[in-house]
Amino acid sequence: MSFFQISFLTDLRVRITRWRTWALVLLLPLLIFFAARILPAEEVSTPVQVGVVLPETGGGDFWRRLEERSGLVVTFQEAACDQAERYVAAGRWDCALVLPEDFEERLAGRDLEGMFDLLIGPGSAVYPMVRETVAACLAECISPGMAEDYLVDSGIVEEGDLAWIRPRLEEVLLDQDRVLVSMETVDGAPLDPLALADSGVANLLAGLTAILILIWVLLTAMDLGRWLDSPAAQRLAPLRGRISLLLPRLAAALLPALCAGVLALTAAENPRAVGALVPYLLFWAAVALVLALRRTAWGVLPVLMPFVPVLGVLLSPVLLDLSTLFPTLAPVIRWNPITLFLRACGGSWTDGLLLAAGGTAIVFLLLASDRAKSRSR
């Protein structure tokens, strides 16, 4: 067998006997598995429930318009006042809308100030959207009457002629005559609420896996740096070269990380992310080699290690893309290896190839530099 194979198998055999290796291989998939089930799929895809308390008489036209706006994001449910209060307090409904008993009279008189009561709880989140929807439905209800008043007051139409023009005022515009709003994500992809919710959970789990693997790689870089300073490595380095010594040990250290990542992403039911894991690991393996070769670099890693998870979350779109709030961070976040990994998980294989190309280039440069130094001796 070659030196690489002997060194790889020897180091892998040693690592298999360590509890830290099995902690990674077992705990990471279990962590992702339970994290994926904290938020069941049905809760991710179920629309937010909003209660609507109608008056005993009237409000039918307004309720019909609200029902037309029920969809993938918000669903309006008719309810009694006491039921709405209970459900909002218990968190079953996000909020509830209460119409006054004299709703029709106030609507006819255009008395809209303080017309609705909105019941919200500590966990309510979509009530601003509900207020906008209610305002749109209310505008639809009163717009024909407002248009009649304007036509008469401006002298465009006589009051006696309103009977024949009223059907025109109540017509619904066709799509080509409307101002339509299309929603998309920051990167320009069409916004599908359900797909966006599912991708948010998958993004979070993939990002958590990537950060934990990054921590493992940095710990491996410290181990390699310490080993490279040992007497045995110092004696072998002039014969084999430092990179040739580190590569099999690095491969043996990252194999458990690869297995743990595959199991974790499989537990998260994200098969596309499994393919993106290889270029991600290849890139960080190359960075680990660079760090291991410099004592000052791997020597400061214990101090920097607590900041790695925080920076990993903040400087990548694991939870939130901060570049939307701070545009100056956009280049840092866009080219962050964790961001490239997440984009590769989403199907952008060019980002995965970029990671693989970067890692491969670094390894070849290190090998070429190591061989050049060996020849000069």
Q: How confident is the model at residue 42 (pLDDT cuts 50, 70, 90)?
A: very low
Residue 349: the pLDDT is 82
Average pLDDT score over residue span 43-61: 79
- CA-to-CA separations, 346 to 39, 138, 189, 317, in angstroms, rounded: 20, 40, 11, 12
Rounded Cα distance between 367 and 377, Å, is: 16
What are the two backbone dihedrals, phi and then psi, of residue 118, each rounded to the nearest 5 degrees?
Answer: -115, 115
pLDDT above 90 coverage of the chain, percent: 11
**Rounded mean pLDDT of 93-115?**
85
**Residue 5 exposure: Cα atoms within 13 Å on the Cβ side:** 2
Q: How confident is the model at residue 41 (pLDDT cuts 50, 70, 90)?
A: very low
Per-residue pLDDT, 345: 84
Sheet with 95-98, edge to edge strand ranges: 74-78, 48-53, 95-98, 117-120
Q: Is the pLDDT of residue 283 over 90?
A: yes
The answer, yes or no, to whether residue 129 has pLDDT greater than 70, is yes
How high is the pLDDT of residue 366? Answer: 85
pLDDT at 7 over 80: no
Q: Tell me, what's the pLDDT at 288? A: 92
Nearest CA-CA partner of 111 in 100, 124, 125: 100
What pLDDT shows up at residue 69?
Answer: 82
Three-state DSSP class for 53? Answer: strand
Mean pLDDT score of the chain = 80
Question: pLDDT tier at 254 (50, 70, 90 boundaries)?
Answer: confident
Residue 127 confidence class, pLDDT cut points 50, 70, 90: confident
CB neighbour class for 259 (10 Å; exposed up to 12, middle 13-18, buried from 19): middle
Whether the model pTM is above 0.85: no
Across the range 33-51, mean pLDDT stands at: 65
Q: What's the confidence (pLDDT) of residue 286?
A: 93
Quick check: 209 pLDDT over 60? yes
User: How does DSSP assign 88-116, residue by residue?
Assistant: HHHTSSSEEEE--TTHHHHHHTT--TT--
pLDDT at res. 357 = 92
Q: What is the pLDDT of residues 148-193, one digit of tens each?
A: 666 777 767 676 666 666 666 666 666 556 666 666 655 565 555 5
Query: DSSP alpha helices (H): ranges in 39-80?
Result: 41-45, 60-68
Instruction: Give the containing element (helix H, strand E) for 77.
Output: strand 74-78
pLDDT on residue 36: 67
Residue 93 clears pLDDT 50, i.e. is over it: yes
Instruction: Quote the CA–CA distance of 244 and 366 in Å, as a whole number.
Output: 10
Per residue in 360-371, pLDDT (tens digit) is 999 888 888 877
Residue 346's pLDDT is what? Answer: 77
